[in-house]
Copies of this chain bind each other. A is one copy, B any other.
């Protein structure tokens, strides 16, 4: 897979976006590459296209599988692993929402809940108590909203959007 200039620019853009959102740049680039490829790619092809090492390609491809954004595919008569990205943007968005909720939001909700039980009810902690309560309530709301989104279909999103406006 030899990238045209335009394709490289896309891969680059996606990498920058990912990076801004706290995602490894290479991981985002591998994802971009797979997104615009019409067939599944081997590790070798990813290494070539993105000029990265074998270890890096392998690690990031598997991280993407972990995130549920990419699937590993076997081609009969070929011993190599091939990777292919899910192409539906709604599926992708939902998957990312799901993973971030699990990995980043839920731990905070638990940590805050724990903090709440441990918190002395004295005046030194009065301000903190307010903040922790507020943030906890808010986080749970966001959590529920994301959960709903994860289970939704595209159509639901459109309808909700309409209702919102």
Task: Answer yes or no: A155 CB below 8 A from chain B CBs.
Answer: no
Chain B minimum-CB-distance residue to A128: B36
Q: Which residues of B contact A160 (CB under 8 A)?
A: 160, 163-164
Over the window 3-20 of chain A, the binary record of Cβ atoms lying under 8 Å from chain B Cβ atoms (1 yes, 0 no) is: 010110110010001001
Q: Which residues of B contact A111 (CB under 8 A)?
A: 13
Chain B minimum-CB-distance residue to A132: B10
CB distance from A98 to the nearest CB of B (A): 15
- Report how many copies the assembly holds: 2
Q: Which residues of B contact A75 (CB under 8 A)?
A: none
Query: Does the CB pair B165–A134 fall under 8 Å?
Result: no
Task: Answer yes or no: A131 CB below 8 A from chain B CBs.
Answer: yes
Pairs A-B, 7 closest by C-beta atoms: A22-B22, A36-B128, A89-B134, A38-B127, A20-B104, A13-B111, A89-B138
Known: A13-B108, A89-B137, A145-B164. 6 other contacts (CB 8 A): A4-B124, A6-B115, A10-B132, A88-B134, A141-B161, A148-B164
